[in-house]
Structure 1
Amino acid sequence: MGVDYYNILKVSRNATEEDLKKSYKRLAMKWHPDKNAVNTKEAEEKFKQISEAYDVLSDSQKRQIYDSYGEEGLKSSMHAPPSSKEKDFTGGGVGRGFKFSQRDAEVIFAEFFGGLDGGIGKSSGGGGDGGRLRKAAAMEHMLPCTVEELCKGSRRKMMISRIVLDYSGKPSTVEEVLAINVKPGWKNGTKITFLEKGNHERGATPGDLIFIIDEKPHPIFKRDGNDLIIHQKISLLDALTGKNLNMKTLDGRELVVPISDIIRPGHEMVIQNEGMPISKEPGKNGNLRIKFDVKFPSRLTAEQKSDLRRILGRTSG
């Protein structure tokens, strides 16, 4: 019992050319592999069957042979019309009969819907990649993130709306919640791409959905690549005599930074490995850079000046 092309294409045996085209369009849009990312193998097989059925039934010679002798008669070339004896239906050699490939299916699809350059959506081997269905324009959304989130990482859920096409090509809007794992160390402008989660368009594969990290300013820390910069005010007394700075890190730890050297205006202290995580090197961090602003007293009494001359005068000689 051979293949029933009429049943595959969902048409009657007396279907007209217009009936065939209408049914093919509906079924091809439904089963094209690029619209069935989950069950691609099943979709490829059904898409090929639908295209093969249309190819046979829309060609008067092939349809006549199929109606008279069935699938076997069509593929054996025994019953091929005289004009086909020297060259089979697919351009092969004598005696090979009708054959149909995934490439042929993509060529037919391109004739109906456009968007293919060279007539094949996937590489079939031996002749280069061929053309491909064009891709719908990507959808881009900004993803606001605090510096804390980019330091520790976070899991975000985003509601998105997009346009999809049903099997007949009719557009509708659907909503979906997507989970985004923000990795520690990601930088402003980092792109997170969800393949084919964007809008659908006729004659095209679905576009991608892209989220772009939008880093929000922090009131204390400023980011410089993988480093963190903090501006620290310090009194002249502490700058000269030293002290312990107590700081809270972005990931919530208490960090004690001892100051023992004399701090001059504009001095920068570097604390290794206390900056932002380096996303491409897990376990490594940039540096924390402390830039000091020494606060000088607005005025001194005569006694204070005298004391300073006495004390500093001993160290200046």
Structure 2
Amino acid sequence: MGRDYYAVLEINRNATDTDINKAYRRLALKHHPRGSSHACSAERFILLAEAFDVLSDPRKKATYDKFEEEGLKGGIPSELGASGAWSSGYTYHGNAEETFRQFFGGDNPFADFFTTDGSEVNTGLSTLRGQKEKIQDPPIERDLHLALEDLYYGCTKKIKISRRVMNEDGLTSSIRDKILTFNVKAGWSEGTCITFPNEGDQGPNNIPADIVFVIRQKHHPRFVRQNDDLYYTAHISLEKALTGFSVEVETLDSRLLNIPINDTVHPQYNKVVTGEGMPLASSPSRRGDLIIRFITHFPEKLSAKKQQLLKQALTDPIINI
């Protein structure tokens, strides 16, 4: 009587493809010569590989289920064979390590499933031919520092990255450079993310990570940005704060604004210039506001005469003419 491949894998004849895959995975890891101290493990490991090679292939399995091992390996007479059945004799190639490698994937798959002390690592498998499920590496985030002018106008950026790429043989890899190009849209704000899917290091058993660039805004010598508004700080004297003046502001697009200030500049006073802020990312034709804040510089010392004149000017009653 021939071998019972179902018994070898410790499953019944109604086992599904998933059952076959799970059984081989469990037993192959258990009896792999590099993970077991039993002398008979090598022989059992080869037999497990042969059983899986037959039962995981629909044509071989169909022939085995109908004609057992004798018909599978001896060949099926043409008058007995059904359409699609195995007609020539089957011979297992005998390389159990190759079956193991094809099942789990990778150049050294055994290392992926055992720790240094030989204990099994819990990994997920797909149901397709028992291949190890590929898990994507975590995203790789990098800060991208841009000038405020870049975010005002929009621009095109090119960044060179170095990453590990699989060679054509599917087993070895090498480090190669790649240029990533993307457009920065006018009005983008700090924290905006640009994602390049699957541009991380490649490997036989992984899905490459996404590379994510996070926009960081560089310090600007004139403006502070808050959302779509730009804040500008003007330094003025007490005289100007009380009597009025004009303030000049050079915009990001190099225009010179001359803004009259006719109000008394008190500590909470801000001057709002509508439509002179950052473009809105959702509607670049619209803009936020330019908000001017003031720092008033007081004189360090006043002569007695100036003090008297100032006191008189501030306390004289208002005369209506």
Instruction: Return the offset for 1:169.
Output: 2.5
- Unaligned runs of at least 5 residues, structure 2: 1-55, 65-71, 87-100, 107-122
Instruction: Return the offset for 1:139.
Output: 2.5
Per-residue CA deviation, residues 280-305 of structure 1 (Å, 9 max, x unaligned), is: 23222222221111112222233333
TM score, norm. by length of structure 2: 0.59
- Find the counterpart in structure 2 of residue 159 from structure 1: 160
Instruction: Return the offset for 1:136.
Output: 2.5
Distance 1:162 1:191 in 2: 20
Kindly, what percent of the aligned residue pairs are identical? 32
Equivalent residues of 1:136, 1:201 under 8 A apart? no
2:297 aligned residue (289, 295, 298): 295
- Find the counterpart in structure 2 of residue 267 from structure 1: 269
- Find the counterpart in structure 1 of residue 127 from structure 2: 119
**Structure-2 change in CA distance of 1:290 and 1:58 (3 Å):** farther
Q: Is 1:213 paired with 2:227?
A: no
Which amino acid in 2 is paired with 1:228? L
* 1:32-51 matched pairs, under 5 angstroms: none
Distance 1:181 1:79 in 2: 55
SS in structure 1 at match of 2:285: coil
Instruction: Return the offset for 1:58.
Output: 7.1
Distance 1:169 1:140 in 2: 28
* 1:1-317 matched pairs, under 5 angstroms: 55=57, 61=63, 78=83, 80=85, 111-113=103-105, 118-119=126-127, 133-166=134-167, 167-314=169-316
SS in structure 1 at match of 2:207: coil
Distance 1:162 1:197 in 2: 8
Distance 2:102 2:155 in 1: 43
**Structure-2 change in CA distance of 1:55 and 1:284 (3 Å):** farther
Instruction: Return the offset for 1:261.
Output: 0.9
- Find the counterpart in structure 2 of residue 106 from structure 1: none
Equivalent residues of 1:110, 1:116 under 8 A apart? no
SS in structure 1 at match of 2:175: strand
Equivalent residues of 1:138, 1:199 under 8 A apart? no
Runs of 4+ in 1 over 4 A off after TM superposition: 54-60, 114-118
Equivalent residues of 2:248, 2:256 under 8 A apart? yes
Distance 1:308 1:273 in 2: 39
Instruction: Return the offset for 1:159.
Output: 0.9
Equivalent residues of 1:110, 1:119 under 8 A apart? no
Distance 1:235 1:220 in 2: 19
Equivalent residues of 2:144, 2:215 under 8 A apart? yes
- Find the counterpart in structure 2 of residue 94 from structure 1: none
Instruction: Return the offset for 1:309.
Output: 3.5
Distance 1:212 1:259 in 2: 39
SS in structure 2 at match of 1:250: coil
Distance 1:117 1:284 in 2: 52
**Structure-2 change in CA distance of 1:56 and 1:274 (3 Å):** same
Which amino acid in 2 is paired with 1:253? R
**Structure-2 change in CA distance of 1:187 and 1:68 (3 Å):** farther
SS in structure 1 at match of 2:214: strand
The structure whose Rg is larger is 2
SS in structure 1 at match of 2:145: strand
SS in structure 2 at match of 1:199: coil
Distance 2:234 2:316 in 1: 30
SS in structure 2 at match of 1:143: strand
**Structure-2 change in CA distance of 1:149 and 1:309 (3 Å):** same
**Structure-2 change in CA distance of 1:289 and 1:110 (3 Å):** farther
**Structure-2 change in CA distance of 1:313 and 1:160 (3 Å):** same
Equivalent residues of 1:270, 1:290 under 8 A apart? yes
